[in-house]
Structure 1
Amino acid sequence: MPIPDFIVALRRKVGTDELWLPAATAVVTRPAPDGPSGAVELLLVRRADNGAWTPVTGIVDPGEEPAVAARREALEEAGVTIRVDRLASVATTDLVTYPNGDRTRYLDHTFACTWLEGEAHVADDESSEVGWFTLDALPPLSAEMRGRIDAALADEVAARFVR
């Protein structure tokens, strides 16, 4: 997976020390074409680095708004245009240590999003598969990703601030 240039520059200065980075997760839904009225499908990507299924995720670029990052990542990773409907949750991830020793902790902003257009496909090298899944036929997901999805699909107005 490509490392953004600004992180490469930071790593030259701080080595493998822990970085604190903003991130965005886009939980994208669309009406299920064959389901009952109100049924939705969820867009998921299979990460190329570890094979895990997740919603679209990514790092927020310097100066970029998290909701803009969610839209950008959906287009870059899955080739779809989305509407960001609401902030669903904000949470800090556990410390992530990469194989090269780099350590990072993310402040994730999860957004409930709606698909607008585009045929979902693998659009970059960060994913190996992209697909739409009904809620009763989701692939295995980590508890963390399931929590993000649950927050986005909840019929809530206010964001969840995860502790």
Structure 2
Amino acid sequence: MATPDFVLELRRHIGHAPLSLVGVTAVIVRGDEILLGRRSDNGALTPITGIVDPGEEPADAAAREALEEAGVRIRVDRLAWVHQMPRLTYENGDVVDYLDLVFRCSWIDGEPYPADGEMTEVAWHPLDGLDGVQEQHLRRIDLALDDTSPTRFEGGSPDERTEATR
């Protein structure tokens, strides 16, 4: 995956030390379909994801990532979930703590295609046919699709995760 320039610059100063970043997940819906892409780095089938640039509004980051990765324009409808992902160590030794903001989004226009190489394929999938999508992404999708639930905020230690809604 393409690493943003600001992250590369920070890494020049801090090496592989843990870095806290804000990420976005755009759960993009069109009728009874959801947009998913197959990641070029690990082959996982996922919603559109990305890193928020310094000074960028997170909802704008979700829309930007949808255009950059899949060539589609979207409307960001609501924030569905705020959660800290488990610490991730990349193959090169870089350590990252991602705060993930999951947004429910609606497709406006554009035919999806793997626009920037971060995905090998991008396509619409029926909501009742999400076989092959990892549990962590299914949870994001479920929360984004639940229009009756308020935004979820998670807290507590990873070992005793508690869930609160606001």
**Structures share a fold, TM > 0.5?**
yes
2:108 match? 116
Matches within 5 A, 1:49-68: 49-68=41-60
4+ residue runs of structure 1 moved beyond 4 angstroms? none
Cα distance in 2 between the residues matched to 1:84 and 1:143: 23
Cα distance in 1 between the residues matched to 2:66 and 2:25: 9
Q: Which runs of 5+ in 2 are unaligned?
A: 156-166
Matches within 5 A, 1:13-28: 13-28=13-28
1:36 match? none
Give 1:150 shift. 0.6
Determine helix, strand or coil for the equivalent of 1:129: strand
Give 1:124 shift. 0.8
2:75 match? 83
Cα distance in 2 between the residues matched to 1:83 and 1:146: 21
Residue 96 of structure 1, aligned match among 88, 103, 117: 88
Cα distance in 2 between the residues matched to 1:102 and 1:115: 34
Q: With structure 2 as the length reference, what TM-score do the two structures score?
A: 0.91
Give 1:156 shift. 2.6
1:37 match? none
Determine helix, strand or coil for the equivalent of 2:128: helix
Cα distance in 2 between the residues matched to 1:18 and 1:74: 27
Q: Which runs of 5+ in 1 are unaligned?
A: 32-39
Cα distance in 2 between the residues matched to 1:9 and 1:89: 29
Q: With structure 1 as the length reference, what TM-score do the two structures score?
A: 0.92
Deviations 1:10-66 (A, max 9, x none): 0011100111000111000002xxxxxxxx100001100000011000000000011
Q: Is the 8 A contact 1:53 1:139 kept in 2?
A: no
Q: Percent identity among equivalent residues?
A: 55
2:161 match? none
Stretch deviating more after TM superposition (43-52 or 131-140): 131-140
Matches within 5 A, 1:34-49: 40-49=32-41
Q: Is the 8 A contact 1:93 1:106 kept in 2?
A: yes
Q: Which amino acid aligns with 1:30?
A: R
Give 1:157 shift. 5.1
